[in-house]
Amino acid sequence: MASRTRRPGAAPAVPDGSRRRRLPMRLLLPLLVLGALMAMLMLRGYVHSEILADHRIQAEASTDKVPEKILDGGPVIDTRSGRATSLQMPDRRIVLTFDDGPDPTWTPKVLDVLKKHHAHAVFFVTGTMTSRYPDLVQRMVDEGHEVGLHTFNHPDLSFQSKKRIDWELSQNQLALAGAAGIRTSLFRPPYSSFADAMDNRSWPVTEYIGSRGYVTVVNNTDSEDWQKPGVRQILRNATPKSGKGAIVLMHDSGGDRHQTVQALDRFLPDMQGRGYAFDNLTEALDAPSALTPVAGPELWKGKAWVFLVQASEHITDVLVAGLAVIGSLVIGRFLLMLLLSGIHARRVRRKDFRWGEPVTQPVSVLVPAYNEAKCIENTVRSLMASEQPIEIIVIDDGSSDGTARLVEAMGLPNVRVVRQLNAGKPAALNRGLANARHDIIVMMDGDTVFEPATVRELVQPFGDSRVGAVAGNAKVGNRDSLIGAWQHIEYVMGFNLDRRMYDILRCMPTIPGAVGAFRRSALERVGGMSDDTLAEDTDITMAMHRDGWRVVYAEKARAWTEAPESVQQLWSQRYRWSYGTMQAIWKHRRALVERGPSGRFGRVGLPLVSLFMVVAPLLAPLIDVFLLYGVVFGPTERTIVAWLGVLAIQVVCAAYAFRLDRERMTHLISLPLQQILYRQLMYVVLLQSWITALTGGRLRWQKLRRTGVVEAPGGPVPRQRSGSESDERRPVG
């Protein structure tokens, strides 16, 4: 329990008397971030032809509806006036055309060769590549080349509706406007060939394209460079016959084009030496330029489009880098957990292992309680069965449900009730510490029950004088529900396996509030429990490390706690934990630059805690985002195999953790579902905690509703073992 504040006043009423409900900023911002992220991924998928792409290719059809003059004509087809005409290239005039670019690797090399030999060409670009590499299109225009449309997503237009054709053209023009501030009247259909290959399916498309103001440009000389036949063969294929003019088809994208570049560097000077000129299309035809500048809204729409595409590319690059980071962190954490937890288990389970002299002296058990009427009797009865001599101090923190009266009515020996006005859990624990009679202090929650051996096992590490605090083994008592089973897996795998690892690394981040023990002198040296954060257990643990004390894990000190049974309660609890952990890390940040034990924890413990408890969980959703993206848009099989691989690693770790804790493996049946549903909730909680921290929000404590379903083990309450009552202290208040 952290400091509790009164509920703020009711929301203002609207005129009809109903309350106006506003979505809190801490919920709105995660939704906006998620929406923006998904929009960027969808945009990236669109410009990478992963979404709305159509890769079908039409089979050959009859040609009886295509005019003979087109079939027998030249490679430039003009249907803009409603009449079909075609043009041939003048003799010794070659128009080099490059399809499917621009490509960041090969287009610059092609441009360099063209510039070297003072030649011009026509680049038929796709909208997807233009949007991604606008600088290359600008360079084409600046160096005197012409640019034509090759659709946006490169579909076979004979399959498409007129609406889709218009979309392909307009989106391609939009990309050109954003990249170079131009529009073009040249068009080349995807999968096109010579004019005599026009058929009854492609000809209507050509006619429609002409009605939209475009000249269709096919080719009459195919270098077949896409087949990579070798430089010599490309040269033979590209050379016109008998001094004729030609429109030569080449590619500057779509794969490895080094043969194209090498062939081009030989082809240009060789053909120029034979008297050929290399012009763009309108130069060769002595016609007005096909490129016209755009301005006004059209220009700004294009620039906005290119900006968004570039943003999606950069964001995706960051996400991919983040995915690599989280992948490394997850695998590294799992490997560390498997290795170090095994070392920890072997060390503490050796027959000759001892912390030191057995600890047999009486112990003070502090039970802070706020409205725990449903649980407190089970808690106290479980303590009365303890094998270790103890005194029990229940600190009633201003409960309104009669918690204190229930404890007093039990009339049990060595059980005292201390009342205080509601001041929060840290204040209640400090009040209990002031009333405690003994030098070892055990702290637990009011909804937790101990086994008879729990306190004894918890305090044995104090036989080592270097140990200042001990973390127990917290377990979920109400694990029969699905959400309880998920938390059970999380406690065994995510918390207790972690604690074994951190024990070996000597940087345990948190002593659980449900079951922890402290050396009284260590608590007093660090100033007791603090209310500076909402995670007082993490705060005090870090303070112990910085003061030079060892913090260890006692696996046999089992405590059974009641986990939240609804999503809302779980959200409230984990939100407070996440935000409190961030507060504690920030509070102890100076340990990074200090010397001695504090510096060791700061340079070892804080980075590990930050990576594994804050950064990794924050980036972990990328695994699921890319899983969803890959399943929907491909490659589906590889994506599913990769996700199953990650799941297999988690299953191995979980099974190992359950084996170490001697838990039944049957609960792991729900692990895959936990990874799909439960983790998503934890992601949003952590993201909300980040946003609360970054926006300066203040999180208030929320009391979880308890049911008291976790029973005390051991049946009837036995008489407590007597013990020394030395070091008596008068109760305070």
Q: How many CA atoms lie within 13 A of 50 on its CB side?
A: 14
The neighbour count for residue 335, using CB atoms within 10 Å, is: 12
The neighbour count for residue 595, using CB atoms within 10 Å, is: 9
End-to-end CA separation in angstroms for the chain: 21
Place of tokens 């579902």: 673
DSSP state of 14: P
- Name 377's Cβ contacts closer than 8 Å, sequence gap at least 6: 406, 407, 410
CB of 580 closer than 8 Å to CB of 466: no
Q: In whole angstroms, what is the distance from residue 531 CA to residue 580 CA? A: 10
Please report, as a single letter, which amino acid is at residue 259: Q
DSSP state of 11: P
Please report, as a single letter, which amino acid is at residue 686: L
Q: How far is CA 456 from CA 331, 493, 499, 516, 709, in A?
A: 36, 24, 19, 12, 25
Residue 72: both structure tokens together: 């027998």
To 5 degrees, how large is the angle CA 411–CA 416–CA 419? 115
Q: In whole angstroms, what is the distance from residue 715 CA to residue 451 CA? A: 11
CB of 420 closer than 8 Å to CB of 396: yes
Among 86, 135, 2, which Cα is nearest to 537's?
A: 2
Instruction: Provide the edge-to-edge strand list for the sheet that holds 415-420.
Output: 415-420, 390-397, 363-369, 440-443, 516-519, 467-476, 550-561, 448-450
Residue 559: both structure tokens together: 């405590």
- Torsion sign over Cα 20, 26, 27, 28: positive
Longest dimension (CA), the chain: 116
| Backbone phi and psi for residue 352, each to the nearest 5 degrees, phi listed first | -95, 10
- Name 404's Cβ contacts closer than 8 Å, sequence gap at least 6: 369, 394, 396, 417, 419
Q: 402-436 in b/e burial notation, b at 16+ Cβ within 10 A?
A: ebbebbeeeebebbbbbebebbbbbbbbbbbbebb
Among 192, 182, 213, which Cα is nearest to 78's?
A: 213
Q: In whole angstroms, what is the distance from residue 344 CA to residue 504 CA? A: 6
| Backbone phi and psi for residue 534, each to the nearest 5 degrees, phi listed first | -90, 0
CB of 702 closer than 8 Å to CB of 368: no
CB of 531 closer than 8 Å to CB of 426: yes
Q: Which amino acids are annotated catalytic?
A: 99, 251
CB of 449 closer than 8 Å to CB of 378: yes
Q: In whole angstroms, what is the distance from residue 181 CA to residue 86 CA? A: 29
Q: How far is CA 682 from CA 89, 237, 392, 567, in A?
A: 66, 61, 35, 11
203 SS3 class: helix
